[in-house]
Amino acid sequence: MALPIQGLLRYVWSAVKIYVLGFIALLRQIFQKHEVPELHLHTGKIAVVTGGTCGIGFHVSLRLVAKNVHVVMAGHDIQKGKEAITKIREIYPNAKVDYLHLDLASFTSIQNFVENIKARCSKIHILVNNAAIMLAPYKETEDDFESHFQVNYLGHLYLTQSLLEMLRASGTEEFYTRIINVSSIVHNIGSLDLQNFGKKCTHWLEYSPHAAYANSKLDIVLASWHLSEQLRREASPVTVNAVHPGVVNSSLYKHVHPAIKWLMDLLAKYTYKTPSAGADSILYLALSPSVERETGGYYDNCRKLKTCQLSYSDSVIEQMYILSTDMIQARVN
């Protein structure tokens, strides 16, 4: 009897925390002036955007194209990829834009994507790790991980590590290569248990989609900091920053429980950011000269903010990063 009660309490508490924090973030967003970055042309730059075919990612792709950036949209839905290219070329007929298949729930797919992008592009100047799932029912990936953990965090880490040599080689004194990891304000309520890091649930009552999402966004912030420090020590011309795009009206909320979804749909219609506005802080980190060589930061509304207390514990972050890398290597070797 203890497990059902504990599981229910864990589920409810995680849900309460995420919705309360989300509402606070929404109130702040409503009363705060939205910052729109001033961006210039970046002809010759090449960007990869995961989840670039829909939602925030599509608007990141569209507006990068508008600045003469060659964009490679990465996503798991081939039809959406075709439709996204058509939409972009209707607006910008001469757009340099491509689509490549990428399923972050599969290390094999990530490996294939890396091979394809290296064959197609000689450089990558901007990597936007944007793709995500939220509050999805419990599911395990083909690599044997919980889906939020791999799709939101571990898959992106493997992708970044696989492209790191190329990213290093693309940076210059004038324009450091930029890695932008899309996190969320809910990383503040995420938790990190190194003893059970990355482990699957053995009982359905152990699973909370709210906790899984928040934890994955915390993992992103922590790994971003660790990688930024690693690259800084190497004096590599690459920056790494995390970003909260805001409370945005997108399909990410499709798994929200029906009991509260009607309210969220109503709020979304009148108070949430549009996907285009949600892209602003990402584009700021991708193109703005204001953040040239700025690394290891967490941004919201084009401003650098402090992160949760755990993100200042270097030893814990290092252990997490080593565990993550070991998990990847155990699956791909």
Is 197 in contact with 146 (CB distance < 8 Å)? no
Q: Strand 303-305's sheet: what is its strand order? A: 97-101, 70-75, 46-50, 126-129, 177-182, 238-244, 298-300, 303-305
SS3 240: strand
Is 181 in contact with 216 (CB distance < 8 Å)? no
Q: Which domain holds residue 121?
A: 2-332
- List, in sequence order, every residue forming a beta bridge with 178; answer none if it has no partner: 126, 239
Q: Please state the domain count of the chain.
A: 1
Burial letters for 265-274: b for 16+ Cβ neighbours within 10 Å, e otherwise? Answer: eebbeeebbe
**Could you give the CA distance from residue 288 to residue 155 in angstroms, rounded to a whole number?**
27
pLDDT score at 201: 86
Is 218 in contact with 163 (CB distance < 8 Å)? no
SS3 101: strand
Helix H segments across 150-208? 155-170
User: Would you state the structure tokens that stand for residue 322, as one six-digit string?
Assistant: 């080593």
Is 307 in contact with 221 (CB distance < 8 Å)? yes
**Could you give the CA distance from residue 251 to residue 255 in angstroms, rounded to a whole number?**
9
pTM, whole model, 2 decimals?
0.96
Is 44 in contact with 96 (CB distance < 8 Å)? no
Annotated catalytic residue within 213, 284, 299, 321? 213
Residue type, 144: D
Going by the DSSP 8-state scheme, the letter that residue 150 receives in this structure is I
Candidates 323, 326, 327, 321; CA nearest to 222 is 321
- List, in sequence order, every residue forming a beta bridge with 70; answer none if it has no partner: 46
- 213 flagged as catalytic: yes
SS3 177: strand
**Could you give the CA distance from residue 97 to residue 99 in angstroms, rounded to a whole number?**
7
pLDDT score at 1: 45
How many other C-beta atoms can be found within 10 angstroms of the C-beta atom of residue 143? 19
Residue 71 φ then ψ, to 5°: -110, 130
Domain at 276, CATH number: 3.40.50.720
- Residue-wise pLDDT tens for the chain (333 aa)? 455 677 678 888 899 999 999 999 999 999 999 999 999 999 999 999 999 999 999 999 999 999 999 999 999 999 999 999 999 999 999 999 999 999 999 999 999 999 999 999 999 999 999 999 999 999 999 999 999 999 999 999 999 999 999 999 999 999 999 999 999 999 999 999 999 999 988 777 789 999 999 999 999 999 999 999 999 999 999 999 999 999 999 988 888 888 888 888 898 989 999 999 999 999 999 999 999 999 999 999 999 999 998 988 999 999 999 999 999 999 998
pLDDT score at 4: 66
Pairing of strands 238-244, 177-182: parallel
**Could you give the CA distance from residue 199 to residue 312 in angstroms, rounded to a whole number?**
24
